[in-house]
Structure 1
Amino acid sequence: MHRALCPVETLYVGQRSRAVLSCALRGRVDVAALSAAYDAMAQAHPGLRSRIEHDGAGHVLRLLDEDERPSLTLRYGDLEEAYAEELNRPLTVGGPLSRAVLVSAPDEESHLFVLVIDHTVTDGHSSIALHNALWDRYRALVEGESAAEPAAELSAQPSAELSDPRWPEPVSRLLPPVDEADTATYLDGRLEEVRRHPVALVPYDAVPGDGTRGGAGDGTGGPQGGIEVRRLTLDADHTARLRRTARDAGVSVHAVVAATLLATARRRLDGDGPRTLGCLSPVDLRSRLSPPVPATALVPAVTTHLQTLDVAEDLEPLELARTVHGRLSDFLARGDHFREMRITPEIPRTPALQLATVIATNMGVVPGPRLPEGLRAVDVRLVPAREQYFPQAGRSPVMACVVSFEGRLSIEFPHSTACFSRSFMRAFRDDVRAGLLRFTTAAPSRRADALTA
């Protein structure tokens, strides 16, 4: 049984990008129940137990044979080291598009659960929903509740070509009808825009061969280096004050974060005057379709908004945030998010359509997993990773994955050590933190308590 990939989904095949969700746990884990919960998720969502194949006409998702399907992997050892290894371990080419690993520390009370999913079959919202559904299933099994089999909710009626009715419909097929001439006009305008306003990228600073990931030095040790993550988190108090400041200013938290990222990137570029920078914001389409597509539908359901801005070093951050917010709001009001989705197949021919100085994702405020008594979640993380970072390019966008789990803002900065050194990304992270904390001073302050990792 198989399902053809739509042109938008096919773009992820070459990228080999993946969502890496992790949950640090404290307490007793029932391994059998966790294994059964993951099996139930894979059974409910065919994409988790599929491989990508080329069938001559294009790429398809094909169900794996029973003995090839993914199952929970158990490991023991240091949790931080295990996380770094799982972040850097790609999904096997031609193998399952998901992986679940439970790592237990020697004390058997501390654990790390890692769920990896290929972006061909998921996005940030659906991967978080899947992670929470898995733990809901686990809790029901441990507590002996009567739990119905998890159902993969469909984004539309199955098409005639689908041999398994549980395959979700590609989101690109659910867009409202449009005149092809309108799409062509929109594409012409976007191509002219990127031609007239090329954006500056942040130069790499890593020196190939200067150290190894996990070893001495601050460089890479190889042409590809390793994937590492610098992280910024704000406590609940500072997160609430940041939201309040944004609300009082009439902008979104996303705009505040994006403006802070742009200002931080500008300070890494030469020149005294304004520089043209780009901000790429993924846009969730689920709630904007009719009928809405639930987060439980395991499909990539995002498009992007690219805006270019002239950013000076002394530009007032709130003014920049208002510009970012206004442009994104206008983009949505015009319905350009649907037009952008339709021109996505053009990106391989014109990568500048998505070329930005900073990429600012934002999952918004999401709940963490609900666990049974005797087990608690110490931390939850979502980090995107991919196979190729192209250090030979000499410069690239800076990626920031923004999500608020349980009321605490978290920004993850994944990077290759073949491109950006550890010291560079630590300094970038710290500057972003300082910029966000300045926004929180607009609200009553208790104790500055921003955590970094």
Structure 2
Amino acid sequence: MSWDEEDLVRVLGASEQRFVRAGTYTGRSVTVVGDLDTTVLGAAFTALQRAYPVVTCRIAEDSTGRGYLLRPGEQPVVGMTASQGDPDVVRIPDSIDPAGQLAYLDVVLSARGRSRVTLFVHHSIADAGHCVELLSRLWDLYTDHLEFGTTTVVPHDYPQSLEWHVAARGIARGSVSGFEDVTRPLEVAVVPPAPAIAAPPSMVRPRRIMLDEQATARIIGLGRVPGVTVNGLVTAALLRAFASEKSGVTGDPVPLGCLYPVDLRTRLEPPVPRAEGTNMAGLASFAAQVDRSADILELAERISHRLQRDLAEGVVQQSVLHFPNYYGPTRIHSLAGHVAVTNTGAVPAFRIPATITLTDYEIVYVSAHPRPSAGAAAAVTFLVYTFEGRLTVGVLGGGDGDRLVTAVRDELTALAEEAVNS
């Protein structure tokens, strides 16, 4: 390995290693309307880099592909990039590279009073909760700079992995992972080595379905019915949408397995602040014969009950300790073909000056160095979040994209109507 030992912060945990091979960055992109001051925003990003030193760190790999979190190298830190362009386009920063730094800020400006601001953070050091915390802090710093001309930051410590937080609370690995319902036999296959010439960075921008505020409020209201949750309702709707693609003309029930992350920050004792953990999501699973002719509330209730049971019994809290058996070179099980649902909840209201408005928010992903996968991919991935009172679902994969997007919209619309009739 070509770094000095004093540069090493720590070896990445299994919860973090999953995102090393492809160099995965998770992006939070907002559309800005109004007078965006890029000089001030650039200063705010510089302050953010000082406040959260982990974003200026880098990741190195050994000959086996294992990732190591390193302190910043000798190269200058890359600040915000900004230039004219189409604000409807999310751009990949030219310099994006985990061996350089772990967060980038790109701004697309236009003469129409609209801009796009995208914060990219390497997924090994930030999940949804941590990434949104960084974006929220960026807008805090921007507003402070406009109002006071400067700001004072205190550097945070490096965040720790979920494995570290679990061990610190005395949680031990149990006899079950919680993924048994979606586990398949591992088909032995040799993962192709990384290409000699690195592939250029690539972006995935999920297709989105956005409900209006009224439909969203109705679904949230239905989620207060005893025995169900909003997460259970939306997950049920998404499973039904995916089943509609598989059931064909017969409409027979479709066996589906669902795997989804559960943010453990508030479920550990003591709780973990957002910026003190990297990927703080345990995993939960659910499997069922999805019958689209059956009552969606019954399916939602089963999903909700299963998660509540697995949390009460501590299964989700220790699930990360089973990750080496399912991800990476030491895996002995497969999760191939599961339906992935990532529900990041409500996006907080960002503190911004009166001179601008944020009119849209979306999640994107960038592979800084795309490589063949070292593990089985999901059959489809759904991203769920609420921004300014509007429920949004992003769709990744799943076969016929147009049909699946339509099916998701239909199921969510029907769910909102179910709320009216309840």
SS in structure 1 opposite 2:20? helix
Deviation at 1:306, TM superposition (A): 1.8
What pairs up with 1:83-162 in 2 under 5 angstroms?
83=90, 85-86=91-92, 91-107=96-112, 109-144=113-148, 147-152=151-156
Alpha carbons 1:21, 1:383 under 8 Å: kept: yes
Q: CA deviation digits over 1:411-433, x for unaligned, max 9?
A: 11234xxx84xxx3232122112
- Specify the alignment match of 2:345 in structure 1: 364
Looking at structure 1, the residues matched to 235 and 152 of structure 2 have their Cα atoms a distance apart, in angstroms, of 41
Alpha carbons 1:18, 1:119 under 8 Å: kept: yes
Are 2:67 and 1:59 aligned? yes
Are 2:28 and 1:21 aligned? yes
SS in structure 1 opposite 2:393? strand
Looking at structure 1, the residues matched to 316 and 160 of structure 2 have their Cα atoms a distance apart, in angstroms, of 19
Looking at structure 1, the residues matched to 277 and 245 of structure 2 have their Cα atoms a distance apart, in angstroms, of 38
What pairs up with 1:206-285 in 2 under 5 angstroms?
227-248=204-225, 250-270=227-247, 272=250, 273-285=252-264
Structure 2: unaligned runs, 5 residues or longer: 1-6, 187-200
AA paired with 2:161? P
Deviation at 1:193, TM superposition (A): 6.8
Task: Choose from 373, 379, 395 the match for 1:397.
Answer: 379
What pairs up with 1:185-204 in 2 under 5 angstroms?
185-187=175-177, 194-195=183-184
Alpha carbons 1:99, 1:117 under 8 Å: kept: yes
- Percent identity between the aligned chains? 25
Looking at structure 1, the residues matched to 377 and 60 of structure 2 have their Cα atoms a distance apart, in angstroms, of 33
Are 2:269 and 1:290 aligned? yes
SS in structure 2 opposite 1:363? strand
AA paired with 2:210? T
Looking at structure 2, the residues matched to 426 and 55 of structure 1 have their Cα atoms a distance apart, in angstroms, of 41
- Specify the alignment match of 1:203 in structure 2: none
Looking at structure 2, the residues matched to 308 and 90 of structure 1 have their Cα atoms a distance apart, in angstroms, of 42
AA paired with 2:231? H
AA paired with 1:383? V
- Specify the alignment match of 2:160 in structure 1: 169
Looking at structure 2, the residues matched to 91 and 146 of structure 1 have their Cα atoms a distance apart, in angstroms, of 28
Deviation at 1:443, TM superposition (A): 4.2
Alpha carbons 2:87, 2:108 under 8 Å: kept: yes
AA paired with 1:177? G
Identify if the C-alpha distance between structure 1 residues 403 and 90 changes in structure 2 by more than 3 Å, giving closer, same or farther. farther
Looking at structure 1, the residues matched to 202 and 144 of structure 2 have their Cα atoms a distance apart, in angstroms, of 42
Deviation at 1:169, TM superposition (A): 2.5
Alpha carbons 2:56, 2:72 under 8 Å: kept: yes
- Specify the alignment match of 2:403 in structure 1: 427
Are 2:414 and 1:438 aligned? yes
Are 2:354 and 1:373 aligned? yes
SS in structure 2 opposite 1:343? helix
Q: CA deviation digits over 1:88-147, x for unaligned, max 9?
A: x8932522111100110133x110001111100000011011101100100010011774
- Specify the alignment match of 2:53 in structure 1: 46
Looking at structure 2, the residues matched to 275 and 56 of structure 1 have their Cα atoms a distance apart, in angstroms, of 42
Deviation at 1:148, TM superposition (A): 3.4
- Count matched residues: 392
Looking at structure 1, the residues matched to 78 and 99 of structure 2 have their Cα atoms a distance apart, in angstroms, of 12
Task: Choose from 3, 8, 14 the match for 2:9.
Answer: 3
- Specify the alignment match of 2:301 in structure 1: 322
Alpha carbons 1:279, 1:356 under 8 Å: kept: no
TM-score in terms of structure 1 length: 0.78
Identify if the C-alpha distance between structure 1 residues 38 and 389 changes in structure 2 by more than 3 Å, giving closer, same or farther. same
Looking at structure 1, the residues matched to 181 and 413 of structure 2 have their Cα atoms a distance apart, in angstroms, of 38
Deviation at 1:326, TM superposition (A): 1.1
AA paired with 2:404? F
- Specify the alignment match of 1:412 in structure 2: 394
AA paired with 1:98? A
AA paired with 1:171? L
- Specify the alignment match of 2:311 in structure 1: 332
Identify if the C-alpha distance between structure 1 residues 43 and 144 changes in structure 2 by more than 3 Å, giving closer, same or farther. same
TM-score in terms of structure 2 length: 0.83
AA paired with 1:291? P
AA paired with 1:16? G
Q: Which moved more, 1:111-120 or 1:291-300?
A: 291-300
Alpha carbons 1:281, 1:361 under 8 Å: kept: yes
Are 2:291 and 1:312 aligned? yes
Looking at structure 2, the residues matched to 441 and 192 of structure 1 have their Cα atoms a distance apart, in angstroms, of 31
Identify if the C-alpha distance between structure 1 residues 192 and 171 changes in structure 2 by more than 3 Å, giving closer, same or farther. closer
AA paired with 2:92? E
Looking at structure 2, the residues matched to 290 and 249 of structure 1 have their Cα atoms a distance apart, in angstroms, of 26
Q: Which moved more, 1:320-329 or 1:265-274?
A: 265-274
Looking at structure 2, the residues matched to 227 and 9 of structure 1 have their Cα atoms a distance apart, in angstroms, of 20
Deviation at 1:54, TM superposition (A): 3.4
Alpha carbons 1:121, 1:300 under 8 Å: kept: yes
Looking at structure 2, the residues matched to 178 and 229 of structure 1 have their Cα atoms a distance apart, in angstroms, of 36
Q: Which moved more, 1:298-307 or 1:126-135?
A: 298-307
Q: CA deviation digits over 1:145-180, x for unaligned, max 9?
A: 77431543xxxxxxxxxxxxx21222211213245x
- Specify the alignment match of 1:220 in structure 2: none
Looking at structure 2, the residues matched to 321 and 173 of structure 1 have their Cα atoms a distance apart, in angstroms, of 33
Alpha carbons 1:186, 1:339 under 8 Å: kept: no
- Specify the alignment match of 1:448 in structure 2: none
SS in structure 1 opposite 2:409? helix
Deviation at 1:67, TM superposition (A): 3.6
Looking at structure 2, the residues matched to 7 and 238 of structure 1 have their Cα atoms a distance apart, in angstroms, of 39
Looking at structure 1, the residues matched to 391 and 341 of structure 2 have their Cα atoms a distance apart, in angstroms, of 14
